Amino acid sequence: MAAEPGRVLKPCNGAGGPHITSAVKPRVAGLPVKERTSTQSAEPGRVLKTSESSEDSDLTPTAKPGMEEEHASAKPREPTVTGQKWSLQDFDIGRPLGKGKFGNVYLAREKSTKYVVALKVLFKSQLQKAGVEHQLRREVEIQSHLRHPHILRLFGYFHDKTRVYLILEYAPKGELYKELTKNTRFEEKRAVVYINQLASALQYCHSKKVIHRDIKPENLLLGHTGDLKIADFGWSVHAPSSRRTTLCGTLDYLPPEMIEGSLHDEKVDLWSLGVLCYEFLVGKPPFEAASHEETYRRITRVDLRFPSYVSNSARSLISMLLKHDPNQRISLDKVLEHPWIKDNLNPTTS
């Protein structure tokens, strides 16, 4: 995931968040990888072992019993391999898919099933330096349990002496922010499709008391039919929560209660949905400003202005999401019923 100029990646404990950035050369050199076809459906279902000799670091996987069960039942595998740990030897590694703060994401193929995945490689030293091991653990625990068509699957993880590897669903159409950059902004119908899919994925997360807290174009990927997938649960938590980690980077998607450091709940994602909806239609987030201080001011005052081409119906939904008081924000149920969504998804012909 490459940060564009002017798009500063968020979190840091003085250093960085759950994103990954610096280059890593995989031990298995760049073998050509056949990309997944729509008919390929086997998942890597190998059960994760919970322990490994751990002189390494305290990033030794601490899989919960429930997590093992989930993986065991995900897809049956050869009985002989069930129960074994994943390792880099199990994968052919292909081209880099994206860059992050702590490492890169590579296209990879599990050797025995030929199942194509995205392998996110993170350096332990960098995670430790930034003090974000707890965020990575939370990301793994949360994302591995979620099952929704618009949430990127996390199939499993493993580690070696220096790196942690996340085995992720491969999203063939890549990063949504690149599409947005290419198109400058989306037509309303396309934005409606994405917002509808995102609202349904968030509804599912919130039903499990999971809040994402980092909804922005950089954290959204596109599946093989162009369907949206929420990725990167590095900032997700169970509600309610207070933020103890220092924020840095862009404030653009953060609601007033989070930048003010208050106790917050799943309604933070409603705010970010409003910001995203605006950005899809306008090409930049609504409170963008030259300095952090000015963005902060614009967010806390909800200084919202629309270019003339934004429809009244879209303005209506965005304004109902971008309410300073979290309790005044429109619910996800009502977002899905809003005329901007309904009329654009099912246009009447009369």
Q: Give the interface with ligand ADE as residue ranges (CB under 6 A).
A: 1, 97-98, 105, 118, 152, 168-171, 174-175, 221
Residue 76 to residue 274: CA distance in whole angstroms: 41
Residue 111 vs 224, nearer CB to ligand ADE: 224
The Cβ-side half-sphere exposure at 263, using a 13 Å CA radius, reads 2
Residue 101 vs 338, nearer CB to ligand ADE: 101
Residue nearest to ligand ADE (CB): 118
Residue 93 vs 171, nearer CB to ligand ADE: 171
Shortest distance, position 99 Cβ to ligand ADE, whole Å: 9
Residues near 235 by Cβ (< 8 Å), separated by ≥ 6? 10, 11, 17, 18, 135, 212, 213, 214
214 is catalytic: yes
Shortest distance, position 168 Cβ to ligand ADE, whole Å: 4
Shortest distance, position 272 Cβ to ligand ADE, whole Å: 20
Secondary structure (3-state) at 28: coil
The residue among 178, 180, 202, 201 whose CA lies nearest residue 191 is 180
Residue 220 vs 268, nearer CB to ligand ADE: 220
Task: Find the radius of gyration of the CA atoms of the chain.
Answer: 20
Shortest distance, position 307 Cβ to ligand ADE, whole Å: 30
Residue 98 to residue 120: CA distance in whole angstroms: 9
Residue 12 vs 118, nearer CB to ligand ADE: 118
Instruction: List helix spans (H) across the chain.
Output: 65-74, 124-130, 133-145, 176-183, 188-207, 256-259, 268-282, 292-300, 312-321, 332-337, 339-345
Shortest distance, position 229 Cβ to ligand ADE, whole Å: 8
Residue of 90, 92, 214, 252 with catalytic role? 214
Say if CB 322 and CB 275 are below 8 A apart. Answer: yes
Q: Which residues are catalytic?
A: 214
